[in-house]
Amino acid sequence: MCKKQLADWGIDYFDLYIVHFPISLKYVDPKDRYPPGFTYDGKNVVPGKASIQETWTAMESLVGKKLAKSIGISNFNGQLIMDLLRYAKIVPATLQVEHHPYLTQEGLVKLAQDHGMAVTAYSSFGPQSFLELDMQRAKDTPLLFDNQTVKSIADKHKKTPAQVLLRWATQRNIAVIPKSNNQNRLAQNLDVTSFDLDADELKEISALNKNLRFNDPLNVSNFISPKIEYGCRSC
Ligand SMILES: NC(=O)c1ccc[n+]([C@@H]2O[C@H](COP(=O)([O-])OP(=O)(O)OC[C@H]3O[C@@H](n4cnc5c(N)ncnc54)[C@H](OP(=O)(O)O)[C@@H]3O)[C@@H](O)[C@H]2O)c1
């Protein structure tokens, strides 16, 4: 699959190749559907049989074959990382996780950074990107762009709330990867290192934490968990 993706991009190697979720999904032959997305049949999410150890060992082999320079993980919690570090020959270069003021994940960030992993935040704006997915939890959550703490800090620095949210993350040594379809907002999202938040402002924003996660696959109603065949990975 890695070779197919490289061919699609017309390149010889990936700078960084990451495991999207610590959940194995049943293989979909590219002849049947490509890219497959999360579902097996276009409707249901069906678990596969590979353990994370098998997956990580396969990822390491891509580095050996020079198909990927660096390999990383995404959506792993601390316990899974601790386990992976027991057998990993290559420590993940990066950990990409949901991270915003409603989900600050201090412990996880520290664990990853202490082991030399660069932490990358996705969904830096909290509920915003999940509104496009029509997620009820996002609709029920006040926008961080409208939050009074974020807004008043933004006003003080003459920046937008989005820029403050991105700067708050980068000042915690977390990389950000915001996406936008709007040219002005793309430019705005790049201009986020020309100012610094002070320690109190960083603390005030971090205090908005409510351990609120939007991207949780186990909350997806089309996840077929009873089909996992326990202890039967080879058959
Ligand atoms: N590893 C994972 O499981 C995972 C999960 C989710 C996302 N990701 C990755 O993370 C990256 C970011 O995606 P995301 O889904 O997290 O989206 P995001 O960047 O957090 O948010 C995108 C939303 O914010 C809006 N926006 C962007 N810049 C803005 C600004 N300056 N002011 C106001 N609104 C702004 C966009 O609207 P406009 O387009 O109208 O500006 C869009 O509605 C993507 O590369 C994605 O693939 C990874």
Which pLDDT does position 221 carry in this prediction? 61
- Ligand 1 mean position, distance from CA 126 (Å): 9
| Residue 170 contacts residue 192 (beta carbons within 8 Å) | yes
Ligand 1 centre from 90 Cα, in Å?
A: 29
Residues recorded for the chain: 235
The C-alpha torsion from 228 through 45 and 58 to 72, rounded to 10°, is -120
Domain count, the chain: 1
Ligand 1 binding pocket includes 39 (Cβ within 6 Å): no
For the chain, how big is the Rg over CA atoms in Å?
19
The residue with tokens 């991105």 is: 166
**What is the model's pTM?**
0.94
pLDDT at residue 217, rounded to an integer: 78
DSSP string, the chain: -HHHHHHHHT-S-EEEEEE--SS-B----TTT-SS-TT-SSSS-B-B-S--HHHHHHHHHHHHHTTSEEEEEEES--HHHHHHHHHH-SS--SEEEEE-BTTB--HHHHHHHHHTTPEEEEE-TTTTHHHHTTT-HHHHTS--GGG-HHHHHHHHHHT--HHHHHHHHHHTTTEEE----S-HHHHHHHH--SSS---HHHHHHHHTT-----S--GGG-TTB-GGG--TT-S--
215 close to ligand 1 (CB < 6 Angstrom)? yes
Neighbours of 78 (CB within 10 A): 14
pLDDT, residue 229, reads 56
**Phi–psi pair at 174, nearest 5 degrees:** -115, 130
- Residue to substitute in 45, 129, 189 for testing ligand 1 pocket (most ligand atoms within 8 angstroms of CB): 129
- Say whether the peptide bond before residue 217 is cis (omega within 30 degrees of 0): no
The answer to whether the CB of 194 is under 6 A from ligand 1 is no
| 132: number of Cβ within 10 Å | 8
What residue numbers bound the domain in which 156 lies?
2-234
- What long-range pairs does 104-107 form, CB within 8 A, spacing at least 24? 104/206, 104/209, 106/206, 107/78
Position 216 scores a pLDDT of 87
CA 116 to centroid of ligand 1, rounded, Å: 26
| pLDDT reported for residue 190 | 96
Residue (of 65, 82, 100) closest to 22 by Cα position: 82
Q: pLDDT digits over 139-163, tens only?
A: 999 999 999 999 999 999 999 999 9
CATH of the domain at 145: 3.20.20.100
Q: Ligand 1 test: best mutation among 179, 192, 218, most atoms within 8 Å of CB?
A: 179
pLDDT less than 50: residues of the chain:
235
